[in-house]
Amino acid sequence: MKFATKAIHAGIEPDPTTGAIMTPIYQTSTYVQESPGKHKGYEYARTQNPTRTVLQNNLAALENGKHGICYASGLGATDAILKLFKPGDEIIASNDLYGGTYRIMVRVFQEFGLTFRFVDLSNPENLEPAITSATKMVWIETPTNPLLRLVDIAAISAITKEHGIKLVVDNTFASPYLQNPLDLGADIVMHSVTKYLGGHSDTVMGAIILNDDEIAEQLAFIQNACGAVPGPQDCFLVLRGIKTLHVRMQRHCENAMKVAHYLLQHPKISQVYYPGLASHAGHELAKKQMRDFGGMLSFELKGDSMPEAIRVMESFSVFSLGESLGGVESLCTHPASMTHASIPKEARLKNGLKDTLIRLSVGIEDVDDLIQDLAQAIA
């Protein structure tokens, strides 16, 4: 199947009891057994749920993977991956990444003996010198949050395979519609399903997709032991959201490109970060490893004035000021005080994340209305 067909049909069958075309919401905590240990594949809803199973199979198909595991949140998925390691193990991560990922690494797992080093992986040549005998995993985002830097998945994968370490790719910004990291050599793909996969700002969920049977078994054990499971209603909502993923992503990309070009020529804008622009440092790589350029962009105002940046964000009427991204509605976010506030200011500035940076999740509204809203807010 091609992507649009997989989004609607992969892993999904009509309900065998009634023929219902939509996967039922199995709102149950337990399942009746014929005899102790003799059941129909389901014992207890923390361990398995039929609605969740269908979603996991659907997500695995979209990422061209074998195993899909859904979690109560994107950070729940991140937590499970980090629990694969033990004290003394080292993880190398992109230095430009989601603040919540940085927080769980440095303020939670570092306290339990894992070591984290943050490296600029937009240049793959920076990885090799950073690897030590303790390095067990490399964690990347591409495009990165919020500076939209590109990381060459295939190049990084070649290095990790040579050293026998695992590569995890947070594919949230791209979604499976734009990019399939497993096909480029990644070992594990992670998603905040809350974002583009759900697509309607009504669900919080995470997911992991992979091919390795042994690691999948470990992750399933960790999930069952620790309990970070999504509910069946949320799984139903995401299944419904995925059916329009390809249509939504096409419009996100079209709108973001037009918004980026508008901002690029605006006299009050000093910098626009969008991989679809020919001036973007990762533009050629984006053309190579992505199918389009996505719905996320960031920009900076001339003068680098915090009061002016706040004024602009308070002036939007179509763009809503809020955390998150990937919904049908356009959102504006201030990373320094919202999504990335957990990263120390010194580290943010060193990585190029200014306090005045504004991030946009460009929705699927009429693009003329979005540009008009930007014009009146920035004026």
Choose the catalytic residue: 170, 187, 234, 373.
170
Count CA atoms within 13 Å of residue 206 on its CB side: 19
Give CA–CA dist 112/104, Å, rounded.
11
Beta bridge partners of 140: 169
CB 150 within 8 A of CB 282: yes
Cis? peptide before 146, omega within 30° of 0:
yes
Give CA–CA dist 146/294, Å, rounded.
13
Give CA–CA dist 239/260, Å, rounded.
31
Choose the catalytic residue: 6, 52, 71, 98.
98
* 3-state secondary structure at position 325: coil
Output the six-digit token pair for 324: 């998150």
Give the Cα-Cα-Cα angle 276, 247, 139 (nearest 5 degrees): 55
Is the sign of the CA dihedral 170, 176, 180, 182 positive or negative?
positive
Beta bridge partners of 18: none
Residue 111 DSSP class: G
Output the six-digit token pair for 5: 């067909």
Choose the catalytic residue: 42, 46, 212, 355.
46
Give phi and psi for 271, each to the nearest 5: -150, 135
Q: At what angle do helices 232-242 and 50-62 cross, to 10 degrees?
A: 30
Specify whether 98 is catalytic: yes
Specify whether 46 is catalytic: yes
Residue 361: Cβ-neighbour burial (10 angstroms; 0-12, 13-18, 19+): buried
Roughly how many angstroms between the first and final C-alpha of the chain, as a whole number? 47
Give CA–CA dist 210/137, Å, rounded.
15
Specify whether 240 is catalytic: no
Residue 44 DSSP class: B
Choose the catalytic residue: 52, 166, 195, 348.
195
Specify whether 291 is catalytic: no
CB 259 within 8 A of CB 362: yes
Give CA–CA dist 241/364, Å, rounded.
14
Positions marked catalytic? 46, 98, 170, 195
